């Protein structure tokens, strides 16, 4: 597992601390990992919704939905 060191604003650090205190995750690292998984899911959902809009507009799409599904955590 890789380790990243990133600067955070004071507000973001306080927000992460609050999430740990409320039980969202057991520690700060897990808060960030969960947030990234949620972002990945959101991006995948957005891609599917965009594809559905293209289909409704009559545009032909090329691609593999299985590849998209594999990108989800």
Residue 60 is predicted with a pLDDT of: 66
Task: Please state the pTM of the whole predicted model.
Answer: 0.71
Task: Check if the beta carbon of residue 72 is closer than 8 Å to that of residue 44.
Answer: yes
Q: Cα angle at 23 between 4 and 33, to 5 degrees?
A: 25
Running along the chain, 73 residues long, what does each successive block of 10 average in pLDDT? Answer: 94 98 97 96 90 79 70 64
């Amino acid at each position: 597992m890789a380790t990243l060191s990133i600067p955070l604003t004071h507000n973001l650090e306080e927000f992460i601390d609050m999430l740990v205190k409320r039980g969202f995750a057991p520690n700060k690292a897990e808060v960030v990992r969960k947030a990234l998984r949620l972002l990945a899911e959101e991006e995948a959902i957005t891609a599917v919704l965009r594809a559905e809009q293209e289909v409704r507009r009559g545009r032909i799409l090329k691609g593999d939905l299985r590849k998209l599904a594999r990108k989800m955590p």
